[in-house]
Structures are given as structure tokens and as C-alpha cells.
Structure 1
Amino acid sequence: MAINLQKGQRISLTKDNNGLSKIMVGLGWDPAEHKGKGLLGSLFGGSSPEIDCDASVFMLDANDKIRSKDEIVYFGNLTHKSQSVCHMGDNLTGDGDGDDEQIRVELAKVPQDIAKLVFVVNIYDCIKRNQHFGMIKNAFIRIVNLSNNQEMLRYNLTDDYANKTALLVGEIYRHGSEWKFAAVGQGDSSKNIAEMVNRYK
């Protein structure tokens, strides 16, 4: 049975799962439903664009730094050169049940000089479209063991992220010989992925 985490919790992925290597990190969200006229009606009416959330992975060194653009896995760079992190493709709307975007990670292949994988989500073209994460509901991150397709853990983001245009969802990081996961759920005001990357330079 999957473990449901709360914000700030940390858990070992490998301590009780000897040989765990191939995992799938699923991220999901739904557009919030708004009805009525006036300001909200104009924002969420039929003519408003879909909310396009993009999941990315920042691969950090021991100093929490991104050393090159190759260490950013996103819709424009789907696979890391080590083949350890692979983005399965972009979902443009968030509609439907289940994962909206999936990222496969092979822990054994992650280069030794990479200490942390940071999973972030930002809203594409958020300023022009006047969109933020207050318009999103049911956001989550989950980790599946690909050897048996069993969900290991899930973290549902329940904070109010109104006016936040990006989210730092969770982290997978080295702790000695183990890999651990941290449920972060931190809102951010970065307008695009480039601004988020600048925080780690």
C-alpha cells in the first residue's frame, strides 16, 4: 500500500526496497472549475486558454547548483545524457484522471556527481494568460516502483497557491548510500522555467 505523505515529510526510497532502481515519478493536476460572470467568468470562460502546466527535473550537485543546461530535463530536453532521467512528454491541459506528466528515473544510472533531483511545475505563458496555481486543484506527485508497478508513495499538495506561478513539488536526494524523497510543496513566483533555473546557479 502506498504511503501518503504530508508537506515536509521525508522517507527513504531504498532502505526497505533493496535493489530498487527504476521508478516512475507521476505528477498530476486538474484545472479548477469556476462558474458565473464578472471577473472570474472572464478568466475562466470558454474563450480563455487551457492551463498548460509543465513538469521539469533539475539535477543538482552537492552544492544545490545546476552546472549546465544538460542537467535540466523538461519538454525541450526530454532525456538526460546519462539516460537516468527521461521525461515522457508534455501534457497541454491537465484534463483527465491520473498522471498528467510522467518522468522515469533509473537511480543506479544517476551520475555520482548528481546529489539531488528537484521536481518542479510551472505554468506555460502564465503572465500573458493571467494564470496561476490558485486555478489548479488536486495536484499531486507519486512514485511507482517499475519492477512491480506498485505505487510506493503519494504526496497531495493541499496548500493555497493563489498567485503562485510555479511549484517546487518534491525532491529525490542521496543520503549516504540511500535515496530519499522529500515532500516540499513550495509555491514560487517565477514566471518561467528560466527564472526557476536561475535560483540554482
Structure 2
Amino acid sequence: MGITLAKGQKVSLTKGNPGLKNILIGLGWDTNKYDGGFDFDLDTAAFLTDENGKVTNDLDFVFYNNLKHSSGSVEHLGDNRTGEGDGDDEQILVDLSKIPSNINKVAFTVTIHEALERRQNFGQVSNSYIRVLNKDTNEELIKYELGEDFSIETAVVVAEIYRHNGEWKFNALGSGFEGGLEALCRNYGLSV
């Protein structure tokens, strides 16, 4: 069992885990009772950013339509359109050794597909979490449960990993956005 974090906490990923290279980012959630007539389709993504928190090009955005970063460092393992069942709903593989030197952070996000049209938001989502596993040993290193802090948001920056003094650290963010994927893309410097 790894470290359980609260919102805003930061912890070193690599300092206490020498040689850590391959990590699996697992994200999961449940939807509350909802009778709006539409299924919930939550989507995870990763934004690979420079020291200014911006992507350097469109391919630094890894999601269901661009599953693997050109460096091979970040790979989305596929879109789960229902979120049913236990365990991780979507997963992203990260090879820390392959992250290009111009990339300072990798932000992990979740958005609700067609949230506005379907009248859905994160107030209707519960049991949301992100966890980090050592892919080589399957050991869970970190878990961050988001709690019920959201009401009208349609996108969340769940957490990020970032370089600090030659080490990789994990930051539990839990920061919500209105405006879904489009708002997130603008935040990270992508034109939509």
C-alpha cells in the first residue's frame, strides 16, 4: 500500500524509489444516481508541458485520439466509455526515462464528454481517484482520492508529475474547470 495524499500535497516519486522508470497512472470514478437520459463518458488525458506549463506542440497532448507521445514516454491505454466495474477506468503508462528534456511536467486530467449537451458535471461523479503504480513490480506507490469538492465543473486537472532537482515529484492538484476539454486545452496553450 502506497502513500495516500490529500489535495495540494506533493511527494517525491523517484527519491524513495531508486531506479523507478515505468509507472502506471490509473484513474477511476463512479457516477451518482442520474436520470438525465445519457450515459456518462469520462475521458482522461495527459498534457506534456514545458517549464511555463504550456505544450510545445499539439502532439504533447495525449488522449483517446492521440494515444502515444512521439517520444514513447506517455501512452494512453484506451478509452473506457462507460466507467462501469471496479478498479481503474482508464490508464496511462509513463516511462520516466523517455520523457524529453524540454518537458517539465505531465498533467493528468479528466473531462466529461459532451458535458454541456448532456447536462453533466463532476458534482454527479463520486469515488474519483488517481493512483501511481510501479509498473515493473505492480506496487501502488501513491493514491489521491478527489473527494466531493466539485459541483459545476466539467473538467479536472487531477494531478501532475514534475521534475525538481533531477527527481520526479507527484503533485495532487484536484483543480476543477468549467468549459470541459476546450477550457483545459486553452489552459495548456493549445488552440481549439
Q: When the two structures are superposed, what TM-score results if normalisation uses the length of structure 1?
A: 0.92
Partner SS state of residue 198, structure 1: helix
Unaligned runs of 5+ in 2: none
Report the CA distance between 1:63 and its aligned residue: 1.3
Structure 2 Cα separation of the partners of residues 19 and 111 of structure 1: 18
2:2 matched to which residue of 1? 2
Identity %: 44
1:72 and 1:136 map into 2 onto residues whose CA distance is 24
Q: 1:132 aligns with which of 101, 121, 142?
A: 121
TM-score, length of structure 2 as denominator length: 0.96
> How many equivalent residue pairs?
189
Q: For residue 168 of structure 2, what is the aligned residue in structure 1?
A: 179
Which of 86, 92, 109 aligns to 2:81? It is: 92
The alpha carbon displacement at 1:195 in A equals: 2.5
Of structures 1 and 2, the larger Rg is shown by 1
In structure 1, the gaps of 5 or more residues are 34-43
Map of 1:1-201 to 2, 5 A cutoff? 1-33=1-33, 44-45=34-35, 48-191=37-180, 193-201=181-189
1:173–1:179 CA contact under 8 A, matched in 2: yes
Q: 2:164 and 2:148 mapped to 1: Cα distance?
A: 27
Structure 1's consecutive aligned runs of 4 or more residues displaced over 3 angstroms after TM superposition are none
